[in-house]
C-alpha cells in the first residue's frame, strides 16, 4: 500500500468558531480569553469588546428571574473554577441592545496536563420559549397581529386571544388572568432624552416581558406605554409570581444612550378572570389595579 493522504484535523479554535452554541473561555481570574462568533450573535457584543475584560465586571450582567445579579456570588464559572465540577444555570443576560435574553448555560473547568485548573469554559444558548411561535408567524400575520415598533402582539391580537381564552373558560373551565403593565414616568424619558430613546425603552421592555413569560402566555402592547399579558392562571400566587418576575427583570434592565443607562420600572395590575366575565370588564379590573399600584408609589404589583 502506498502512503495514506494526511487527514485534516481542525484546530480546537476552528471547531469552537463553527459551533452554533455560544462559547467563551476565561482564566482563573475570570478574564475572557476567547469569545466565539455565536456568542457575538447571541449577545450583540463583538469579541474585541469582550476579550481581555473580566466577566465579573458585569459585561453580560446575568440575573435570575427576580432580577438578582449572579455575577459576583452565584457565577457558574466561579463555582467550577473552585471545585472542578460542571455547573448549569438558567439566567437572563443583558444584550448589548438593552433587552434581556433567557439563556441556558453550562460551565466546565479547564486544566493543564498536571490537573491544575487554569480556567473555565461556558457554553450557552438562547432559551426563549416563544421562539417557535414567533418563527411560525408568516409575514402577513406579523403585519396584521404584531406591533410594528416592538414586534410583540398588538391590540388586535390581544383582543382575539382574550376572546379565545374566555371561550375556553366557558366551555372547559380553563382559568386565565390579565396582567396590565404600565411604564412608570415614561413621559419623563421622552422629555429628558427624545422619542427615539423612548422607542428603544419600549422595545427593551417588550423584549424582556416576552422572554420572561411562560409557554402559553401572550404578551402584547395595549397602547402607548401600556402592555398586557394574557396568562394561564392557576393559583393567584402563581400569577403574582409571574408579574413580580416581569417587574424585577424590567427594573434591572436598561437601554443604553451614549454614556447614560436609561432604566424604567413597571406598575402592574393583576386580575383573575371570573366565571363568564366579559373580557372588557376583566381588562378594566386589571387596569384599575395598575392605577392602584401607581397610587401606592409605583414599581409594584397589585391584585384586583
244 belongs to the catalytic site: no
Q: Across residues 64-86, what is the average pLDDT?
A: 85
For the stretch 256-287, pLDDT in tens is 899 899 999 999 999 999 998 999 999 999 99
pTM over 0.75: no
Residue 199 is predicted with a pLDDT of: 96
Residue 244 is predicted with a pLDDT of: 97
Kindly name the residue from 225, 235, 244, 281 that is annotated as catalytic. 225
Other C-beta atoms closer than 10 Å to the C-beta of 6 total 6
Domains of the chain by range and CATH? Answer: 12-126 (3.30.450.20), 131-303 (3.30.70.270)
All 3 cell numbers of residue 118? 487554569
Residue 135 is predicted with a pLDDT of: 59
Lowest mean pLDDT, pick from 30-39, 50-59, 287-296 = 50-59
For the stretch 2-19, pLDDT in tens is 555 556 556 777 777 777
Please answer whether residues 272 and 175 qualify as being in contact, where contact means their C-beta atoms are separated by less than 8 angstroms. yes
Q: How far apart are CA 62 and CA 82, in angstroms?
A: 19
Choose between 253 and 59: higher pLDDT. Answer: 253
Q: How far apart are CA 123 and CA 84, in angstroms?
A: 16
List beta partners, residue 137: none
* Mean pLDDT score across all residues of the chain: 88
**DSSP 3-state assignment of 265?**
coil
For the stretch 206-253, pLDDT in tens is 999 999 888 889 999 999 999 999 998 878 899 999 999 999 999 999
Please answer whether residues 101 and 42 qualify as being in contact, where contact means their C-beta atoms are separated by less than 8 angstroms. yes
Amino acid at each position: 500500500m502506498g502512503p495514506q493522504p494526511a487527514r485534516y484535523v481542525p484546530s480546537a479554535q476552528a471547531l469552537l468558531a463553527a459551533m452554533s452554541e455560544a462559547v467563551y473561555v476565561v482564566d482563573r481570574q475570570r478574564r475572557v480569553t476567547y469569545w466565539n462568533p455565536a456568542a457575538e450573535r447571541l449577545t450583540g457584543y463583538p469579541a474585541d469588546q469582550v476579550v481581555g475584560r473580566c466577566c465579573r465586571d458585569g459585561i453580560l450582567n446575568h440575573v435570575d428571574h427576580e432580577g438578582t445579579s449572579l455575577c459576583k456570588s452565584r457565577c457558574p464559572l466561579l463555582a467550577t473554577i473552585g471545585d472542578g465540577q460542571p455547573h448549569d444555570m438558567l439566567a437572563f443576560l443583558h444584550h448589548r441592545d438593552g433587552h434581556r435574553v433567557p439563556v441556558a448555560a453550562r460551565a466546565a473547568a479547564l486544566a493543564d496536563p498536571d490537573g491544575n485548573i487554569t480556567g473555565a469554559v461556558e457554553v450557552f444558548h438562547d432559551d426563549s420559549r416563544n421562539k417557535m411561535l414567533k418563527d411560525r408567524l408568516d409575514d402577513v400575520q406579523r403585519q396584521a397581529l404584531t406591533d410594528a415598533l416592538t414586534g410583540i402582539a398588538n391590540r388586535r391580537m390581544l383582543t382575539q386571544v382574550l376572546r379565545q381564552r374566555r371561550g375556553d373558560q366557558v366551555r372547559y373551565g380553563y382559568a386565565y388572568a390579565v396582567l396590565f403593565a404600565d411604564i412608570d414616568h415614561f413621559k419623563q424619558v421622552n422629555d429628558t432624552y427624545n422619542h427615539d430613546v423612548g422607542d428603544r425603552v419600549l422595545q427593551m421592555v417588550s423584549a424582556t416581558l416576552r422572554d420572561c413569560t411562560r409557554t402559553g402566555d401572550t404578551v402584547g402592547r395595549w397602547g402607548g406605554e401600556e402592555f398586557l399579558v394574557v396568562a394561564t392562571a392557576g393559583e393567584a400566587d402563581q400569577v403574582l409570581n409571574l408579574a413580580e418576575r416581569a417587574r424585577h427583570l424590567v427594573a434591572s434592565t436598561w437601554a443604553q444612550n451614549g454614556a447614560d443607562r436609561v432604566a424604567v420600572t413597571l406598575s402592574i395590575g393583576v386580575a383573575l378572570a371570573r366565571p363568564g366575565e366579559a373580557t372588557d370588564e376583566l381588562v378594566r379590573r386589571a387596569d384599575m389595579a395598575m392605577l392602584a399600584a401607581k397610587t401606592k408609589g409605583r414599581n409594584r404589583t397589585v391584585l384586583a
